Amino acid sequence: MHDVIIVGSSPNALAAAARLLAAKKRVLVLEPSDHLGGPVSSHEFHPGFWADTALSSAPLHPMIEQELGLSIAVLPRRTVTVIGKAHNASEVSVGRFQKAVLPAAFRNGTALLQALHASPVGDLPNMTGSEAEALSMIGAQLLGLGEREMMEVLRLGFMSARELSLELNLPFADRVALSIGSVYGLNEGPFARTNVWNYLVHEALNDGLSGPQVVGGLGRITALLADKVRSLGGEIEMGLGPLAVDVDAGSAWGVSAGDRTVEAKRIASDLDVQRTFGQLIPPYHLEPECLRRVRQVRYRGNVARVFIALRKQPEFAGVGEEDLLGTLVIANDVESIERAWDEAKRGNLPADPPIFVTLPSRGDPSRAPTGAHVLAVTVLYVPSGWTDRSRVKEAVLRLLGEHAPGIEQWVDHVEVNLPVDLEERFSLTGGQLYGGETNLSQSFFLRSMPGCRGGCTPIENLYLCGSTGHPPGYSGMSGWLSAGNLLATA
């Protein structure tokens, strides 16, 4: 019998497996699909052209990389360049996001979140001694900032990108970049309160607009982790099709795939809460109140990924060579971003959806044939359930053509991945990339939902180890912390 079976294979799941194996546990990883990594994967979308499928950045946590003795080469994206029209302006502006000149509260808030992301968060008020001690140390870090700076950090998380931009009187490029970073992955506009929290979360995860590019693609992270799991004696099986967790008398004891059942002392799910308690386990195993909490988690994906195979490097007006190694944001003023959200929430594709663009082949020539390039476009505010690929393709090519004249003549192929595609391919409820929105109401002890401390669930011997838990994202830390809790309660 295995000590632990892990269902799913994102970096969170594989990091959990590696930690358990290092502790001499017998671990089996079961992946329903025919590929490892979940959203942290790369694929060939046109002969010789490779793209990161769902995310533009998802670096492994440095502590995990060090603990496991891995070496993952990354290319920093040092610039975020905004292209668009400021409010009431007739001419297009091109400017860099000056992140370094933002108030110190941004850097201090990011540092605090990084500390929290590396610490287990207990179920208030029933925290263990080690959880309380970790939280106390982070509290001391906050108090150490002094009263004024502490208050500045705390108020950031409750503000909207728009009100903060107005308060700081930010220039056009900074307003737009802050707004895009604040609403990425959320189903709301820059006017909504608390979305600056989301900006800080992604800064702490280092997977936002300026998140690094992994040399060889995000699939490289998954491949290295899988190799590590196997080298430690773990087993990985893929292409199993639909899986089910077997439960008896409120306790999980095995996983079934078709006619085959594998028993284990513990089961860990890499899927989000709704998929876990709906796909892996029938919801009737939960008490009504718990089921209500499961259904309250917000999963409203609105991000599409569009990949373009180009025969030559594109030329964006006013954009330098160095900027092509970073991220390009194409959006007008904050008000236009809010209007795009207004359209999307009514089920319509915005006429000018905000997009951000990377050129991964510029720094990593292995992504495309010699002389050719991959253009990866992240499109915000594609309504959940939207299925018209041609409309998204047309909108993206039109926006690119406005700022990179003649780009259409160099296009060999365009692939459009809608939220519905990401949901189907990676078992992401609603196409939500992070296993639940990363807003303030779904963070820390409220993630994945109240009562699920350290990956525990209402089902005995069943744990959560994916991005749906604390912290969100695919740094591996959610699985690492869940494995630590599993070992502590063994």
Q: From its phi and psi, is residue 62 left (phi > 0), alpha (psi between -120 and 50) or beta? A: alpha
Asked which of 425, 456, 479 is the last residue of a domain, the reply is: 425
Residue 339, amino acid? R
Determine, yes or no, domain membership for 441.
no
**Residue 137's closest CA among 110, 119, 156?**
119
Based on the domain organization, do 306 and 183 belong to the same domain? yes
Residue 437 lies in a domain: no
Q: Is residue 61 part of a domain?
A: no
Alpha carbons 217 and 239: distance in angstroms, whole number:
22
Same domain? For 112 and 252 the reply is: no
- How many Cβ atoms are within 10 Å of 419's Cβ, its own excluded? 25
Q: Are residues 210 and 235 located together in one domain of the fold?
A: no
- Summarised one tens digit per residue, pLDDT across range 26-56 is 999 999 999 999 999 999 999 999 999 999 9
Which pair of tokens denotes residue 319? 């954009």
> Whole-angstrom Cα distance, residue 261 to residue 83?
55
**Residue 81 CB-density burial (10 A; 0-12 exposed, 13-18 middle, 19+ buried):** buried
Q: How far apart are CA 114 and CA 108, in angstroms?
A: 10
The number of folded domains in the chain is 2
Query: Do residues 185 and 316 both lie within one domain?
Result: yes
Domain that holds residue 460: 2-41+218-297+448-488
- CATH value at residue 81: 3.90.660
In angstroms, rounded to a whole number, what is the distance separating the alpha carbons of residues 481 and 487? 10
Q: Please indicate, yes or no, whether residues 207 and 222 belong to a single structural domain of this protein.
A: no
Residues 31 and 139 in one domain: no
List residues bridging with 2 in a β-sheet.
264
Domain contains 68: no
Short-list 417, 315, 310, 320, CA closest to 374: 310
Q: Is residue 443 part of a domain?
A: no
Residue in 179, 217, 167, 220 with CA at minimum distance from that of residue 56: 217
Tell me if 66 sits within 8 A of 477, measured CB to CB: no
Splitting the chain (490 residues) into consecutive groups of 10 residues, what average pLDDT does each group show? Answer: 97 98 98 97 98 97 97 97 88 92 95 92 69 80 92 95 96 97 96 96 97 97 98 97 95 95 97 94 90 90 97 95 96 96 96 97 97 98 95 97 95 98 96 93 83 83 95 97 89
pLDDT at position 197, please? 96
- DSSP state letter for 242: S
Same domain, 360 and 242: no
What are phi and psi for residue 306, nearest 5 degrees? -120, 130
Give 68-91 as a 3 state SS string.
Answer: CCCCCCEECCCCEEEEECCCCCCC
CA dist list (Å): 189 to 55, 183, 241 = 20, 6, 37
The CATH code of the domain that includes 34 is 3.50.50.60
* Residue 179 located in a structural domain: yes
Same structural domain, 159 and 275: no
pLDDT tens digits, 368-387: 999 999 999 999 999 989 99
The answer on 13 and 122 residing in a single domain is: no
- What sections of 260-404 are H helices per DSSP? 273-275, 288-296, 334-345, 360-363, 389-403
The number of angstroms, rounded, from the C-alpha of 463 to the middle of its chain's C-alpha atoms is: 20
Does 245 share its domain with 185?
Answer: no
The H or E element that residue 229 is part of is helix 219-231
Residue 387 contacts residue 420 (beta carbons within 8 Å): yes
Integer Cα distance of 327 and 316 in angstroms: 12
d(CA 353, CA 184): 12
3-state secondary structure of 460: strand
C-alpha distances out from residue 400 to 115, 241, 316, 411, Å: 39, 39, 8, 11
What's residue 121's pLDDT?
78
Do 277 and 336 lie in one domain? The reply is no
What are the distances in angstroms from CA 220 to CA 32, 180, 189, 475? 20, 27, 33, 13
Distance CA 184, CA 190 (A): 10
pLDDT of residue 139: 84
Same domain, 285 and 384: no
Q: Are 416 and 306 in contact (CB under 8 A)?
A: yes
